[in-house]
Amino acid sequence: MISRRGFFRFVRALGISGLGVAAYGFGIENFRWPKIAEYNVRPKLWPAGLSLKVAAIADIHACDPWMTASRVRSIVETTNDVGADLIVLLGDYSAGHKFVYEAVHSDEWSTALGGLKSPLGVHAILGNHDWWDDKSVQGARAGTPYGRARSNAWEFRSTRTTPFA
């Protein structure tokens, strides 16, 4: 049987652990520079001597103060410097949660992402947060989230960039 004092020690330790995890998640992890990881993948039927460098960007969650438009632009510059043959954007461009000071409008992050360049193009898909964040599409239960982004960077910045479809 656990004593009352033991129970309160457990609750206090649990609370301190939770604060530590929250401090790491909000105070440290969000301000770290993105990690560039290199993987050498060789599919069985891949032609010998053919190499393909793919850069993947995922889960931007654009919001102030953690992922501002200027930070997205710096990630775009870093990605372009990698010299990838193909760039894929794997969704979750908007914050999609309430723990932000200010949302970064889709016009800002899409313009920043419009600066991505690669010989085989830039291809994008939407993530779950992108659907959650566009209330007009949710209300209509139809349409394309960020349809307004189609008219700016996605189509006019780069002819190799695929707009959200």
Q: How confident is the model at residue 29 (pLDDT cuts 50, 70, 90)?
A: low
Task: For 16-72, list the strands marked E by DSSP.
Answer: 54-57, 63-64
What is the Cα–Cα distance from 46 to 101, expressed in whole angstroms? 47
C-alpha–C-alpha distance, residues 93 and 100, integer Å: 14
Q: pLDDT per residue over 69-117, tens digit each?
A: 888 899 999 999 999 999 999 878 777 666 666 777 778 888 899 999 9
pLDDT of residue 161: 39
Report DSSP letters for 91-155, one per residue. Answer: S--B--SS--SEEPPHHHHHHHHTT---TT-EEE---HHHHHH-HHHHHHT-S-TTGGGGGTHHH
The answer to pTM > 0.75 is no
pLDDT tens digits for 127-144? 777 766 666 767 776 666
SS3 46: coil
